[in-house]
Structure formats: structure tokens, C-alpha cells
Amino acid sequence: MTVRTRFAPSPTGYLHVGGARTALFSWLHARRHGGTFVLRVEDTDLERSTAESVNAILEGMTWLGLEYDEGPLFQTERFDRYQEVIDGLLEQGHAYRCDCPRERLDVLRAKQMERKEKPKYDGHCRTRDIDPTTPHVIRFRTPIEGTVGFDDMIRGRVTWENSELDDLVIRKSDGSPTYNLAVVVDDLDMRISHVIRGEDHVSNTPRQVHIFRALGAHVPVFAHVPMILGDDGARLSKRHGAVSVMQYREEGILPEALLNYLVRLGWSHGDQEIFSVDEMVALFDLESVNKSASTFNTDKLLWLNQHYITQADPAHLARELSWHLGQLGIDPSDGPELIEVVRAQQGRAKTLVELAAISAFFYRDPADYDAKAAKKHFKAAALEPLSRAREALAGLASWTPEVLHALVEGVAAELEVGMGKIAQPLRVAVSGRAATPGIDVTLDLVGRDACLRRIDRALDYIREQAESAV
């Protein structure tokens, strides 16, 4: 079988993590089997679909690296094709017109619920001859007897009694197709072999199987992915924190970390936790996806993200970090080479937001000093070692980490104090904080002019504190 999968979001909002996981599973299945991955935008809901949502979905797919082989294809560009299929179903007796007013349907539903019956259309118009020029919908003629079923790659055999189903509307009174009709025609025309989607679509599947069969078409293989829950056991939603893919970018998550986390939500390969994209492609198997729901754990995602930050190629990490520095109003081209900053800071943060925050001082003077750091390292006793260090730094002919390290050691030896008595006041002076990379690397990357300017400011600060204490 030639494998063709699709991801078919509705552009009524952002790309959420549940959709991203479905897209990932579909993408992996196609890649593992040398198949084709199609992106289809299901925008038949004209009132809710927006161009902004389309852009948000495309942006999320691009950021995650889930490149598609075909698409994006839009349902709104295929209305003529849907009407052609609907006309065929009418001609063959698989569909019929229905002019039941809303009031009749509301009464019917209310009476069924009173009797504790499952609400469904009663087939009132099945044998009626409806004038096509009057307002009406078109319904699919669902078989009344027997069962309908399919083999789900995740859930196993799933069956329904046809008597539980009703004659669903396949074209609205305004002429637009409904979801269940459009999705079948799309999957048929796009030769989709495997439909991988969320389990909320399970109830739609028997209806779609009936339409495939009415069209004389081969029914694709289905795989319904279980939902994602928050840590409280409820379905994942905004109240659990970030659910939009691009919001995770804003919060400093690397795309490869999010992909690794998403693939492990419901799928496993032994005890392995870390998967490169190549390993995912080689190992992923739909039949190994769990039937039960998965729980989203933010701490686990942060653990993975820290791993990926620590292990990332510095050039790649610099590209991702550049965007976050831009969010702080920093142009990383105006300062030290960003890749060198990344090499110095790589193991010091769980997120890119943290990494940007602790790296900002390389590009701009700190607005203030960390209170604890200043209280500990900016006492009056720090004036002499900081002044000596400033004088020695101003006289350097060469500004390299090796020379800077030797200078700090030399000042400490001259004053007969530990190296920390020199390095820590220097560190707080140039960065505003007590924790930075090695003092030699820190001074080197900040640069001569910025270091001297910041030390002068720190000396003034210490003198003012000393005077106010008298």
C-alpha cells in the first residue's frame, strides 16, 4: 500500500498541542513508510475560519519542522467538487432532500429526550418528494439495519448498530457541505491511505464509512489518537497553561524538545526518553500507541528542554535565542558573537526565555544590581580590589580570556586575597548578578569599554552606599 497521510486542522484558532501531536504522528507514519504527508485546511466553517488562524497553523508547522509534501489544500476551493458528489448521491438514491423546519426537529428532539432515547432524525422526508427550489437540506440515507465497523490501528475493531445512527445532513440549506461529506470526498480525491486523528472523531467514522461505501470507494485505515489530559485529569485546556504551539515557543521551548515530548505522549519504545527526529521516524509505530489518554506534564517538558539546550549545536541554539533576545529589545548583532555567548551560557538555563534573561547583560548595561549580590559583594571593602582591577584592565594591551584570567589572579596575589574577592565584585559590576560564566569569559565577551564603564558605575554605587551608611 502506498502510504498517504494528512493533517486536516480547522482554522478557527491556534495550532494546539493536541493537533500538533496528531500532525506529528501522521507525519512520522508517512516518513517511516516512504509515503506522502498532506496538509489540508478544513475551512468550510465560513463564520469561524480566519486567515489569521491559517497563518498560525502554518507558522506552528514550520517551527516544528513538520514539512508537508502537498498543500496546504483548502476545502473552500472545492465546493464545486462537493456539489458534484452530492448530486451523484441524490441520483443513486443514497441521499434525499429534507425540508423539515427547525421547529419540528426541536419538538422531535425534546420528545426523544423525554423518553430517554438518543436524539436523532426520524427519516420523515425519506420518501417525500421535495421541491428542489424550496429551502431544504440534503441528508445521507443511512442503512437502517445491520452494523457498520472498521479496524482501528489503535483501538482495534469498532462497530455500531446502524439503528443508532441517523440520516446526517451532508449539505446545508445555504448550499455549503458539512464536515462528514467534505472530509470523505477530500480523503478519496487525495488518495489518503491512513486517517490519523483525535479520538473525538470516532463517532464520525461510521457515518464516513457509509459515505465511502456509497461512493464505491476503498475505505482508508483509521487510527484515532487518545486525548491529552491536564495534570488534574481534565481535558487539556488553557487553564492548564500553554496549549498553543507558538505559546511554547514564546515560553522558551525548543521545537525539538516539544516534538520529543509530544511523541512520548501515548507512545513509547522501551524505556527510551530522548529521541532524535531520525529515531522517531525509524521507530514510531501507530499500533504501539496507547489506547488510554495521556497526561501532560510540564516539568517533564522542561527537563527535556534543558537537555536539548545543553546538547544543542551552538549555531542552532543561537538562531533560536536570537528571537528571544529580540523580544527583550536586544539586537544581538550589536555586541559579542551570539554563538560565543551560547557556548558560555548553554548549560545554565531550562528555557530560552531564561537563557535570554541571563545573557542580556552581554549586550546592554544592567539596569540595576541583584539585591543579594550587591549586599554581599559591594561592601566598602570591595572598593580597593575593584579599583585595582579597573586600573589593571584599562592598561591591558590584549583583551583575551587568558590575559584576563591572569590579570584577576595577579590582582588577587598583589592584594593577598582569594581570587573570589576580585572576581565576584567584578562579576556583579559588569553583569548585575553573582552568577555568570567564568570571570575571564565574562569580561572578554562584555568587552573593554563596557567593562570599564560598568566598573566605574559600580564604584560610584559602592561609595554612595558607604556614605549613606555613615
Which residues are known catalytic residues?
238
C-alpha 304/C-alpha 307 separation (Å) is 5
From CA 444, how far away is CA 250, in angstroms rounded?
A: 30
Contact 65, 26 (CB under 8 A): no
Give the separation between CA 461 and CA 470, rounded to whole angstroms. 15
The alpha-helical segments, DSSP class H, found in 40-178 are: 51-64, 79-91, 102-114
CA quadruple 232, 236, 241, 245: dihedral positive or negative? positive
Contact between 264 and 199 under an 8 Å Cβ cutoff? The reply is no
Per the rule left: phi > 0, alpha: psi between -120 and 50, beta: everything else, 266 is left
Q: How many residues does the chain have?
A: 470
Coil/strand/helix, residue 450: helix
Cell 455500531 belongs to which residue?
A: 160
Look up cell 517533564; give the residue. Answer: 300
Cβ 17 vs Cβ 296: under 8 Å: yes
Contact criterion met (CB below 8 Å) for 205 and 150: yes
**Distance between CA atoms of residues 360 and 332, nearest Å:** 9
> What gap in Å lies between CA 385 and CA 391, rounded to an integer?
10
How do strand 36-41 and strand 70-74 relate by DSSP bridges? parallel
Structural contact between residues 437 and 345, judged by C-beta atoms closer than 8 angstroms: yes
Residue 216: in which H helix or E strand, if any? none
**Closest listed residue to residue 26, CA positions, set 59, 55, 64:** 64
* DSSP-assigned states of every residue in 52-70: HHHHHHHHHHHHHT---SE
Angle between helices 179-189 and 205-214 (to 10 degrees): 60
